[in-house]
Amino acid sequence: MPEYVFTLSNGEDLPVIIQTRRGARNITLRPKTRPVREIHISKPFLTSAAAALRFLESKRRWVERIFAAAPTKTTLRPGDVIEFLGRRVDVMHNPAQRTNTFVCKDDGTATLVVGGVADMFEHRARDFIKAEFLSAVREIIRTAPREFWPRRIAVRDTSTRWGSCSTTGTMSFSWRLAFAPPSVMRYVVMHELAHVRHMDHSPAFWATVGELYGFGVERAKQWLNRHGGELHRYF
């Protein structure tokens, strides 16, 4: 049994893992919906576990929304059709192949043939999508003025953040944006690039996002707010 448990309104008990981090100034909550459902809390050294749990309770509505919106996982199987990076892709399996092959057609469809043993099918498909996503992000960044380019790009798998920009010049992006429309993926990239100039969400920041993205930025932002949870369907 976990030391701490948070009970949702539907009766589900979620393990709570509390970690103390030296140098931390605030309590940080990280609800995780995969591969297991649990809540991670980081707290300053002098903050008690009881205080951290009270803070968690104060954020109950937010936590409940995250776990309620988490989609049911779908196992990817040979013969499935999925959409990523703006293409409708037939996913096949050929154990005789040692590598993956990806064939794109002019009509916007494609075929991904995953090689290797059956037990590694999902793993190899996921790694392929992540690599393609990183390449797509780099292409989007190159369309922005060079002054906004990051020093380093990292691919993450986060539950609550689609992207981040550090003061060291590293930008991180959730690879699950590969399942979003290309316009939405581009919005997140431009959002993080704008942080190079404004490390906040001030009116000046949003003006810069609009300048980098152009027409349709609000539509892309609204799509992500409404459908973001769907991007965690696979893997």
What's the rounded Cα separation, in Å, for the pair 58 and 140? 39
Helix (H) or strand (E) holding 165: strand 163-165
The interaxial angle of helices 217-227 and 203-213, nearest 10 deg, is 100
Please write the tens of the pLDDT for every residue from 64-74: 999 887 777 78
Query: Does 127 fall in a domain?
Result: yes
- Say if residue 55's pLDDT is above 70: yes
Please write the tens of the pLDDT for every residue from 130-172: 999 999 999 999 999 999 999 999 999 886 689 999 999 999 9
Indicate if 215 and 153 belong to the same structural domain: yes
- Say if residue 3's pLDDT is above 90: no
The CATH number linked to 228 is 3.30.2010.10
Residue 163: domain span: 81-232
Alpha-carbon Rg of the chain, whole angstroms? Answer: 20
Q: Which of 40, 69, 98 is the last residue of a domain?
A: 69
Please write the tens of the pLDDT for every residue from 101-133: 999 988 889 999 999 999 999 999 999 999 999
Helix (H) or strand (E) holding 221: helix 217-227
Query: Does 162 fall in a domain?
Result: yes
Query: Does 12 fall in a domain?
Result: yes
Indicate if 64 and 89 belong to the same structural domain: no
Domains identified in the chain, total number: 2
Query: Does 75 fall in a domain?
Result: no
Which positions ≥6 away from 80 have C-beta within 8 Å? 91
Indicate if 47 and 85 belong to the same structural domain: no
